[in-house]
Structure 1
Amino acid sequence: MSLKNSVCLALLVSLAGCATLPTSGPTGKQVERSAIDPDTTLPIELVNVEASTDLPALEPVAASLRLAQLPPPPTDLVGPGDVLDITIFEAGVTLFAGSGSTPGSSGGAVPGVQAQRMPPNRVDDDGDITIPYAGKLHVVGHTVSEVEAMIRASLRGISQNPQVMVNVQQPITNTVIVSGEVARPGRLLLQTNRETLSDVIALAGGYRGNTKDLVLRVIRRGDSTDIAINDLIETPSLDVRAYPGDRLMLINNPRTYSVLGAPGSVQQFPFARSRVSLTEALATAGGTNPTLGDPAAIFVFRYVQNEQRNEVPVVYHFNMMKTGSYFLAQRFAMKDKDVLYFGNAAANQPSKVVQLISQLFSPILTVTSAVQTVQNSNR
């Protein structure tokens, strides 16, 4: 047996011993069989998208409207941390002699009306303030006018018809905290309690970055809600009123989807806009590789929340060899972290064998030709 034949035989034997040929992933049939396999440890739901009823329901962006159920409180509501500026007006005999007097000073007969301004009074964590001669007053949850009435009532019988004026010197209760991708993060006072979420962002100097990548997280009374900024812009009903005590965080959270299998390009793609359809995702990925992929085996892998609010894996199958699938793909919205998979074509396995054999034999043929050339030259 010649050297050439021996080498070829060895290569054929090694090729026959290969368990599998190189591939970029399973075929469409393999994906379907593994998804419905009853022995799989992860139960997967396979949805063949053949009609509009098979498309996943659009998640209602108005789910955050529960934030609008709280009516706006009065702008002068007093709460813990607020610092009150209290002035007491008295006629005739006064309890507090001299402007800015401290508790415990003795009174005197002073003609006319006297205005006595007390030192700044901070509402403690229990919601109380302390008034000289009157003691503690529980003011949390009351408006400024109600606090004035409470102080006046507490001094009745001690002072001659005192009149009280209360101003919130350092408001804490009627504020929101704004942080994240805004120009001026910090504590923001709600002047009217009619400011909406977008108003608060504007008052904080506006957002930084691209709106398609920004998410507004609203934390209200222990409940957290995320609203995409583009949804806030496009859906006015989402732009609800900010509520005192809200914490607003603008987060830069670029959304992406991954493309695997046999497409024109395997990589992770960012969302070009706030909404990307499957048709646009297929085009961005370069479509199905004509030599490796199967247009009838397009899959989208996604976690979906069921009625029990548990995440379950779902695989959506599109057969792009059918005309109607192109219209359905336009209505199918991609979601963050989706996996778009292009199935391998089962028919391309013989071509892979031929290609592999060609690659294996090409160096041998080259060497053989060179040896024959040398032998001929030596004759």
Structure 2
Amino acid sequence: MTLVKLRLKTALSIMAVVSLVAACGLPRSGPTRNEIFSGSVQQEGDAFVVQVTDTVARATRTSSALGFSQSFVNAPIGGSDTIQPGDVLGLTIWENVEDGLLVNQGANAAALEELQVDGAGYIFVPYAGRILAAGNTPEAIRRIITNKLSEATPDPQVEVRRLAGDGATVSLVGAVGAQGVYPIERPTRTLGAMLAQAGGITLEPDVAQVVVIRGGQQGRIWFQDLYRNPNYDIALRGGDRILVEEDARSYVALGATGAQRRVPFESNDLTVIEALAQVGGLQSNTADPRGVFILRSEHEVISRRLTGRPDLQGHQRIIYLLDLTQPNGMFAASEFMIRDGDTLYVTEAPYVQWQKVIAALTGSLGSVGSVGDAASTLGN
């Protein structure tokens, strides 16, 4: 056998061994670009692959804004001494006659003590009837009783006092400086003031959300919006429950990134560039910057718009592709927004798999020369 034929046979044998090793399925971080494309609808798969452009970034942008309903925003400032069900009131009534309705002869005033506000919010006052006390201040109750008694006795004078009960209170829980029940007082009639009274929040402002529960209603805002939008500094009501909690949204990072894990959002809105930065960016020795993918279950309306398929029904599997090597690739990545539940996947560069094949061969056979010997042996 001539030297040329021997070298050719050796080379072919080496290629056969390399192909065999590659076919055995070497370890890798996930599918390749071609494998992802093979699962697309365009190739009879079940997911749409969409190249991210400025137009796509704008079409998929959704707001993460939160807010209070108009019933919360329009509620007026309440009194700091508003009476609540369960409070106990004391009344003193003066009548401008010698023989009054309530004042005994020889006395100048009548005292009605221990008038407890019932569950419906009412108290009973003789000759005035049932008076709605809950939701009113002592001054408002005084005027109501005075008007009622004026129909039966001339120029009555009434004093109303809260003898027991905390009045209007709210409860604060979650990530606040001091959890507890706080009275609504003159300096703390609004949400922002009450949070300050409780020691502020213990979370980063970018990821803090404030929830207000009032009866059967609930409102949620970003903490930062409380100070950006004065309308969100709502007036509080007795019985309000205030919860401060961290943004629960997250995405999953996989592939040739600095970390493979579930990643919480660090801001209200998060772009692909920011998401990559959170996990340490692309791995410089393995990542393929042409293969940055966002896997998402996309809304029906957006899916129809992107694919031009008005027949689509329900959420669709969309795979967004970003090629960071394109002239506008980095700009597109800085405008495309990550959403809750997304999977961020970066493919490995093609040569990485060849490196693994070489490493597998040299590791098992000792050296490239040993590969040649093995190939010669196979040829004999």
Give me the TM-score of the superposition, normalised by structure 2: 0.72
Are residues 334 and 143 of structure 1, via their aligned partners in 2, closer, same or farther at CA, if it must alter by over 3 Å? same
The Cα of 1:110 is off from its aligned counterpart by 1.4
2:89 touches 2:161 (CA, 8 Å); kept in 1?
Answer: yes
Mapped pair 1:20 → 2:32: no
Give the Cα separation in 2 of the matches to 1:228 and 1:32.
39
Distance, in Å, in 2 between the alignment partners of 1:337 and 1:167 is 56
8 Å contact kept, 2:251–2:342: yes
Which consecutive unaligned segments of at least 5 residues does structure 2 have? 1-12, 303-313, 371-380
Could you tell me which residue of structure 2 aligns to residue 87 of structure 1?
Answer: 92
Asked whether the equivalents of residues 176 and 247 of structure 1 are also in contact (C-alpha less than 8 Å), the reply is yes
AA of the residue aligned to 1:198: G
1:176-230 CA distances to partner (integer Å, 9 max, x unpaired)? 3222222333333333598442222002222224333432112234233332323
Give 1:48 deviation, angstroms.
Answer: 2.3
1:288 maps onto 2:282 in alignment: yes
Alignment deviations for residues 152-181 of structure 1 (CA, whole Å, 9 cap, x no partner): 355457655432222455566743322222
Percent identity of the aligned residues? 26
2:201 paired with 1:201 = no
CA separation of 1:168 and 1:281: change in aligned 2, threshold 3 A: same
Once the two structures are superposed, residues 39-95 of structure 1 have per-residue CA deviations (whole angstroms, 9 ceiling, x without a partner) of: 87xx75644211244343241525436465433154265553444332222343355
Q: CA deviation at 1:360?
A: 1.8
1:324 Cα offset (Å)? 0.5
Q: In the alignment, residue 93 of structure 1 is paired with which amino acid?
A: D
CA drift of 1:315 comes to 3.6
Partner in structure 1 of residue 360 of structure 2? 356
What TM-score do you get using the length of structure 1 for normalisation?
0.72
Size of the aligned set, in residue pairs, is 343
- In the alignment, the residues of structure 1 paired with residue 94 and residue 240 of structure 2 have an alpha-carbon distance, to the nearest angstrom, of 37
Report the counterpart of residue 108 of structure 1 in structure 2: 104
Q: Do 1:183 and 1:205's aligned partners in 2 also have CA atoms closer than 8 Å?
A: yes
108 and 270 in structure 1: CA distance in 2 versus 1, 3 angstrom threshold:
closer
1:288 deviation in Å? 3.0
**Distance in 1, Cα, partners of 2:166 & 2:74:** 19
- Whether the 8 Å CA contact 1:47–1:54 is kept in 2: the answer is no
CA distance in 2, matches of 1:51, 1:74: 49
Aligned to 1:326: 330
Partner of 1:241: 234
In the TM superposition, what is the alpha-carbon distance from 1:320 to its structure 2 partner? 1.0
Q: Residue 8 of structure 2 aligns with which residue?
A: none
- Do the aligned partners of 1:301 and 1:313 also contact (CA within 8 Å) in 2? yes
Counterpart for residue 4 of structure 2: none
Give the aligned residue type for 2:52: V
Are the equivalent residues in 1 in contact too, given 2:57–2:337 (CA < 8 A)?
Answer: no
1:175 aligns to what? 169
8 Å contact from structure 1 (residues 194, 241) kept in 2: no
Kindly report which structure 2 residues correspond to 1:110-129, keeping only aligned pairs within 5 A, or say none.
Answer: 110=106, 113-114=108-109, 116-129=110-123
Instruction: Report the aligned-residue RMSD.
Output: 4.1
In the alignment, which residue of structure 2 is the partner of 1:148? 142
CA distance in 1, matches of 2:235, 2:43: 50
**Aligned mates of 2:51, 2:301 — CA distance in 1:** 21
